[in-house]
Structure 1
């Protein structure tokens, strides 16, 4: 497998990991908690999802051929509390991720050095992917943190549970060394 093929495989797994992380956090909440804000400057989880989805649709639609900031995108409207139910939140979430994975699955390894534009600024395809691989986990971290705060108790850890690192590590080191992505489990 070429380096470019390895890279594409890895980023697909990373995006899927963060998608799953966001879903597992939201699944632990009551529907009304998805709309909670703590002050005027705080976005609800619903708003964060709407923003992520809007960004994904803009960036990944016609990924190689049109600017990543589409003329039809209204970024400010993504923060106007348009999603009104958990079903709408999850539909928006899925629509964005489907657009992202369709674009990634259609990418050829030799296209990774091609130049695309976001707001008229040129990026190699690798740079554009990395930009989004930093952006989405930033917001998914917000979702996870917020969900954990809203849940208050009975939170099911999405990583190594507190005070369980030694147990987790001993299980890992008891296995044979292997080459795999941490998301393969």
Structure 2
């Protein structure tokens, strides 16, 4: 595989792993009841977002190179209905979706990146399809984190640099580099 293709797949996989880890650290902070909370009737709960991301990945990454990314078996509208599923069940479907994504990307080769796939009958390059998923998942990751912060308020464990913590963070990074 040429350097560009290999580097891109490595970067995309790393980004997806980061998103998954970050979201899971947020979800772990919430109780079964809290993952079903939503700020308004028209908003999504964390549970609904988990169902949606999982449904999306189950549709997009099954037979990625050979069938349309919007599968006939997918009921997208049902993903946005909260049936009060257990956190354990939600995390199981979450994991299944991620496994499909990672297995598919890990099995792509150089020639595959130049292929065309379809999403809702619209042609996309494999590169575009992966980038679309990066954007989609990062969008929903932000929602999961935002909802979790709304629920937990001051009890939320910050998953990045805390407010007013940039200077200390940068100091630690510099000190670590100096030790290398």
Query: Residues 117 and 123 of structure 2 are in contact (CA less than 8 Å); yes or no, is this contact kept in structure 1?
Result: yes
Pairwise mapping of residues 124-163 of structure 1 onto structure 2 (< 5 A)?
124-163=125-164
Aligned to 1:182: none
Pairwise mapping of residues 32-71 of structure 1 onto structure 2 (< 5 A)?
32-71=33-72
In 2, Cα distance between equivalents of 1:61 and 1:119: 14
- CA root-mean-square deviation: 1.4
Query: Residues 61 and 104 of structure 2 are in contact (CA less than 8 Å); yes or no, is this contact kept in structure 1?
Result: yes
In 2, Cα distance between equivalents of 1:109 and 1:17: 24
SS of residue matched to 2:118: strand
Aligned to 2:91: 90
- The unaligned stretches of length 5 or more in structure 2 are none
Measured after TM superposition, the shift of residue 163 of structure 1 is: 1.0
Query: Residues 68 and 117 of structure 1 are in contact (CA less than 8 Å); yes or no, is this contact kept in structure 2?
Result: yes
SS of residue matched to 2:22: helix
Q: How many residues align?
A: 177
Give TM-score scaled by structure 2 length.
Answer: 0.94
Measured after TM superposition, the shift of residue 95 of structure 1 is: 1.0
Query: Residues 46 and 147 of structure 2 are in contact (CA less than 8 Å); yes or no, is this contact kept in structure 1?
Result: yes
Measured after TM superposition, the shift of residue 126 of structure 1 is: 0.4
In 2, Cα distance between equivalents of 1:87 and 1:77: 19
CA deviations 1:78-129 (Å, max 9, x no partner) are 1121351111111111111111111111111231111000011111100000
Query: Residues 31 and 85 of structure 1 are in contact (CA less than 8 Å); yes or no, is this contact kept in structure 2?
Result: yes
Aligned to 1:120: 121
Give TM-score scaled by structure 1 length.
Answer: 0.91
In 1, Cα distance between equivalents of 2:16 and 2:110: 17
Aligned to 1:76: 77
In 1, Cα distance between equivalents of 2:57 and 2:85: 20
SS of residue matched to 2:155: coil
- The unaligned stretches of length 5 or more in structure 1 are 179-185
